[in-house]
Amino acid sequence: MTRFTILVLAAALAALATSPASAQRQAPQSRAEMQLSFAPVVKRAAPAVVNVYGARVEQVQAHPFFDDPIFRRFFGDRGGPQQGPGRAEVARSLGSGVIVDRSGLVITNNHVIQNMTEVKIAFADRREFEVDIVLRDPRTDLAVLKLKNPPTDLAVIDIGESDGLEVGDIVLAIGNPFGVGQTVTQGIISALARTQVGVADYQSFVQTDAAINPGNSGGALVDMSGRLIGVNTAIFSRSGGSHGIGFAIPTALVRLVVESARSGSQTVQRPWFGGRLQTVTADVAESLRLARPTGALVVSVVPNSPAARAGMRAGDLITAVDGQVVEDPDGFGYRFGVKPIGGMASLAVTRNGRNLVVPVALQPAPPGGQDAITLSGPSPFAGARVATLAPGMADELRVAHRTDGVVIMAVEPNSAAGQVGLQPGDVVVAVNGREIRTPADLREATAQRARLWRFQIDRGGQIINSMMGG
């Protein structure tokens, strides 16, 4: 190697060492750097992190024995202060939230406030405020609250870009674990785009080893600039405590929900694709002559959907959305679902060995539920809101395997439907031998009291046969 070549290589290495990309991420270079503190980051971010408290009053059914005077004579009134149909109990929840807007908007997890009728937040300085629930989005497990009377010194966190994260980046988790008070933990980004967590429909979680425990849900995951880059949501644990595997919803998804709340919407409008997808297995990859199993394989396309109008076909393999690589159907759902309504998304598609770019319109699903009714009366379906299944509703309620039927849209808390275990997304097939095709069919079939109820439910493609006394 000549002296000139050595000088060129040395110059190139020196330029690389001082490039902006390497300057942004580097290990500590001295003992003094090892003694640096995260305190400035905490001072910027922590004031915008709050505790979230939820409560609801629910009726608990007393055991029939408690109505027996002989039983009460020997065992006392263990049924509680209210005998007869049941007693009132207060159910509570505890979590965290992050203030994201000067108007008093707070982002948290939907599961923290699910079914709660009264919600309050508390600052780290113990000031408490009442809030309104302005938006719930179970599909992302996010919800937006709004302070009724926000103070003038309201701290707000900046929302960062989760797409710029890299594995190994240092992060801080801020929340209220186990209700002990605001707590800060430190770790790194352990992995990106985790899709097998199972706590929401849109899965592309940021994984971190920063300690996250019960009560951290809805709290902040922040970068070294004090910006929000994720909302802490779930942990993998065999004991209920932190094992160093925590998951946060990335801010690309958080921003979509916050913008919907800012616009005054009570729901999140997201683009509808209109195709059923499946994971590419090793066998499928071999049959398609792929180098490795990756992408989202189109199994079927809903007629007159954006996918159909774009010319998508069964057998197409989607590998990227607007240049962002797609590893599986969950990855596609996330990348496509965070796109704003309007405009187009460019899908990289492999079809019969040819690589194509397919533009797909970013349009919402057609409205459904116009014939929705809430059932009442002496049946196990009392308190269930049902409607004819529409294509958009099938996506929203996770009923990808069907295109028709009567679907349960919602179940009222403490209702008969809730007590027998009916869930949103269940499709009612038959009641007492009668086939159910419309909501009116179901209302007629459940209008009269029966000594025995027999009904069939399609849940995720599995038929469940139930029988219970009237």
Same domain, 229 and 293: no
Lowest mean pLDDT among 92-101, 110-119, 338-347, 392-401: 392-401
Same domain, 173 and 231: yes
Q: Please, what sign has the CA dihedral across residues 314, 319, 323, 325?
A: positive
In-domain check, residue 140: yes
In-domain check, residue 12: no
Same domain, 255 and 282: no
Lowest mean pLDDT among 91-100, 199-208, 273-282, 299-308: 199-208
List residues bridging with 92 in a β-sheet: 55
pLDDT beyond 90 at 20: no
Q: What is the pLDDT of residue 470?
A: 64
Same domain, 340 and 391: no
pLDDT beyond 70 at 279: yes
Which of 315, 335, 361 is the C-terminal boundary of a domain? 361
- Residue 425 Ramachandran class (φ > 0 left, ψ -120 to 50 alpha, else beta): left
In-domain check, residue 17: no
CATH number for the domain that contains residue 242: 2.40.10.10
Q: What is the pLDDT of residue 389?
A: 84
Same domain, 61 and 132: yes
pLDDT band with cut points at 50, 70 and 90 for residue 63: very low
pLDDT band with cut points at 50, 70 and 90 for residue 4: very low
List of residues 6+ apart from 71 with CB closer than 8 A: 65
Q: Looking at per-residue confidence, does 1 or 53 come out higher?
A: 53
pLDDT beyond 50 at 373: yes
Q: What is the pLDDT of residue 8?
A: 40
In-domain check, residue 11: no
C-alpha 108/C-alpha 38 separation (Å) is 24
In-domain check, residue 153: no
pLDDT beyond 80 at 59: no
CATH number for the domain that contains residue 399: 2.30.42.10
Same domain, 235 and 296: no
List residues bridging with 58 in a β-sheet: 89
Task: List, by residue number, the catalytic residues.
Answer: 111, 141, 217
List of residues 6+ apart from 408 with CB closer than 8 A: 384, 385, 386, 417, 422, 423, 424, 425, 426, 427, 428
List residues bridging with 336 in a β-sheet: none
Same domain, 51 and 141: yes
pLDDT beyond 60 at 9: no
Same domain, 207 and 231: yes
How high is the mean pLDDT of the chain? 82
Instruction: Tell me the pLDDT tens digit for each residue of 323-351.
Output: 999 988 888 988 998 898 888 999 999 99
Instruction: Tell me the pLDDT tens digit for each residue of 221-256.
Output: 999 999 999 999 877 766 666 677 889 999 989 999
Which of 262, 292, 327 is the C-terminal boundary of a domain? 262
pLDDT beyond 50 at 74: no
**Which 8-state DSSP code applies to residue 159?**
B
pLDDT band with cut points at 50, 70 and 90 for residue 83: very low
C-alpha 146/C-alpha 113 separation (Å) is 13
Q: What is the pLDDT of residue 81?
A: 45
Mean pLDDT for 370-395 is 85
C-alpha 298/C-alpha 193 separation (Å) is 21
Same domain, 286 and 311: yes
Whether 313 and 324 have beta carbons less than 8 Å apart is answered as no
Domain count, the chain: 4
Which of 361, 394, 417 is the C-terminal boundary of a domain? 361
Same domain, 140 and 74: yes
In-domain check, residue 288: yes
List of residues 6+ apart from 456 with CB closer than 8 A: 428, 429, 430, 431, 463, 464, 465, 466
Same domain, 299 and 386: no
In-domain check, residue 268: no
Helices (runs of H) and strands (runs of E) counted in the chain: 13, 25
In-domain check, residue 205: yes
Q: Looking at per-residue confidence, does 59 or 52 come out higher?
A: 52
Domain hosting 78: range is 46-147
pLDDT beyond 70 at 313: yes
Q: What is the pLDDT of residue 152?
A: 87
C-alpha 409/C-alpha 138 separation (Å) is 12
Same domain, 350 and 414: no
Instruction: Tell me the pLDDT tens digit for each residue of 173-226.
Output: 999 888 888 899 999 999 887 776 655 566 778 899 888 888 888 899 999 999
